[in-house]
């Protein structure tokens, strides 16, 4: 059973979500504004692991969803966040990812899609926690991609950390998962569709722009010049290719 926090001020929508998540076997808490969400996730009596995922609406009274996500990440609270954005506002999607959301869904959404997205985030989290637990007592030969170093950068998948030039950057769950997928396929072209399937666990026809936004963010972390990437290359019309050690020019 997972603990899910819903942050949504539209009571009927929050209730419907709660009802359906509970029917799926999750335990659910609902709050109607960002301040209360931050209190539950970061307040003095908050337990860092009290929630396994947060469904966070952007449009909230007081602090909006972007501000809430940004405060969570600034406080090193990396609970997976599924952000609900307004349809037809792609700038919100970018803003959402920039503030630290792991995934987004435009409103109005189909409930099965939301459940699938949330399930994807929860699966990843569980998987990550298992890999954290197993990295404390590593089984021989089971160390694949716990950490990966390339070109002066090191990614620690257990801690979700990227170390570059003496700086440590905290990655969100899905940033780390996307990097892991690209690294596994080093040198090969990976399509957006396969990324959606393998990383997000989504098989339905979905907007792939989310992936492009993630790539933009990852480039900011790992490229010397994000405008001229040498590690995360775009393959026009298809997807992306990761190159660990670019040839010297
Ligand atoms: Ca709202």
Q: Supply the CATH number for residue 174's domain.
A: 1.10.10.10
The reply to whether 177 falls in a domain is yes
The reply to whether 147 falls in a domain is yes
Containing 83, the helix (H) or strand (E) segment is strand 81-86
For 52-71, write each residue's pLDDT tens digit: 999 999 999 999 999 999 99
The reply to whether 216 falls in a domain is yes
The reply to whether 60 falls in a domain is yes
Q: Which residues have their alpha-adjacent CB atom under 5 A from ion ligand 1?
A: 9-10, 57, 59
Q: Which residues of the chain have pLDDT under 50?
A: 136-143
Q: Which of these, 243, 213, 181, 240, lies nearest to 98 by C-alpha position? A: 213
Expressed in angstroms, the distance from the first to the final Cα of the chain is 52
Same domain, yes or no: 48 and 164: no
Indicate the residue among 104, 130, 156 that finishes a domain.
130
Burial class (CB in 10 A: 0-12, 13-18, 19+), 98: middle
Same domain, yes or no: 16 and 122: yes
Indicate the residue among 111, 130, 149 that finishes a domain.
130
Containing 108, the helix (H) or strand (E) segment is none
The total domain count for the chain is 2
Same domain, yes or no: 34 and 119: yes
Q: Give the model's pLDDT for residue 134.
A: 58
Indicate the residue among 68, 97, 130 that finishes a domain.
130
The reply to whether 39 falls in a domain is yes
Same domain, yes or no: 104 and 20: yes
In this structure, which long-range contacts are made by residues 236-239, counting pairs with CB atoms below 8 Å and at least 24 apart in sequence? Answer: 238/189, 238/191, 238/192, 239/189, 239/190, 239/191, 239/192, 239/193, 239/194, 239/195
Same domain, yes or no: 141 and 100: no
The reply to whether 55 falls in a domain is yes
Query: What distance in Å separates the CA atoms of residue 186 and residue 77, rounded to the nearest whole number?
Result: 30
The reply to whether 249 falls in a domain is no
Question: Residue 165 has which token pair?
Answer: 């030039």
Cβ contact 41:14 at 8 Å:
no
The reply to whether 248 falls in a domain is no
CA of residue 66 to ligand 1 center, whole Å: 12
Cβ contact 55:8 at 8 Å:
yes
CATH of the domain at 30: 3.40.50.2300
Q: Give the model's pLDDT for residue 131.
A: 62
- CA 164: distance to chain centroid? 20
Query: What distance in Å separates the CA atoms of residue 185 and residue 235, rounded to the nearest whole number?
Result: 14
Q: What percent of the chain has pLDDT over 90?
A: 55
Same domain, yes or no: 104 and 148: no
Same domain, yes or no: 111 and 146: no
Same domain, yes or no: 8 and 108: yes
Sorted by sequence, the CB contacts under 8 Å of residue 125 that are 6+ apart come out as: 52, 53, 80, 173
Burial 211-238 (b: 16+ CB within 10 A, else e): bbbbbebbbebbbeeeeebbbbeeeeee
Asked if the peptide bond before residue 108 counts as cis, ω within 30 degrees of 0, the response is yes
Same domain, yes or no: 7 and 112: yes
Cβ contact 235:189 at 8 Å:
yes
CA of residue 25 to ligand 1 center, whole Å: 24
Same domain, yes or no: 112 and 206: no
Q: Give the model's pLDDT for residue 208.
A: 75
Same domain, yes or no: 28 and 117: yes
By residue range, what is the domain housing residue 221?
137-242
Sorted by sequence, the CB contacts under 8 Å of residue 137 that are 6+ apart come out as: none
User: Taking the model in full, what pTM does it have?
Assistant: 0.77
CA of residue 179 to ligand 1 center, whole Å: 32
Same domain, yes or no: 126 and 141: no
CA of residue 8 to ligand 1 center, whole Å: 5
Q: Give the model's pLDDT for residue 143.
A: 44
Question: Residue 124 has which token pair?
Answer: 């990843």
CA of residue 68 to ligand 1 center, whole Å: 13
Burial class (CB in 10 A: 0-12, 13-18, 19+), 247: exposed
CA of residue 118 to ligand 1 center, whole Å: 18
């Amino acid at each position: 059973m997972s603990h899910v926090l819903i942050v949504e001020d539209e009571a009927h929508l929050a209730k419907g979500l709660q009802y359906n998540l509970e029917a799926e076997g999750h335990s659910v808490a609902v709050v109607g504004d960002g301040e209360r969400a931050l209190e539950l996730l970061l307040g003095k009596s908050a337990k860092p692991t009290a929630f396994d995922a947060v469904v966070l609406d952007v449009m909230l009274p007081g602090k909006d969803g972007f501000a809430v996500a940004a405060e969570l990440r600034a406080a090193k609270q990396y609970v997976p966040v599924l952000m609900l954005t307004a349809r037809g506002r792609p700038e919100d999607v970018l803003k959402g990812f920039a503030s630290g959301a792991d995934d987004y869904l435009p409103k109005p959404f189909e409930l099965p899609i939301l459940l699938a997205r949330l399930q994807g985030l929860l699966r990843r989290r569980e998987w990550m926690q298992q890999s954290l637990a197993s990295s404390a007592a590593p089984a021989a030969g089971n160390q694949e991609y716990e950490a990966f170093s390339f070109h002066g950068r090191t990614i620690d998948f257990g801690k979700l950390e990227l170390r570059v030039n003496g700086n440590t950057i905290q990655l969100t769950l899905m940033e780390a998962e996307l990097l892991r997928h690209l690294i596994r396929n080093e040198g090969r072209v990976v399509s957006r569709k396969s990324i959606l399937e393998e990383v997000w666990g989504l098989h339905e026809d979905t907007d792939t722009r989310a992936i492009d936004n993630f790539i933009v963010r990852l480039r900011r972390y790992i490229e010397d010049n994000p405008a001229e990437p040498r590690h995360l290359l775009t393959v026009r019309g298809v997807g992306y290719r990761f190159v660990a050690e670019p040839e010297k020019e």
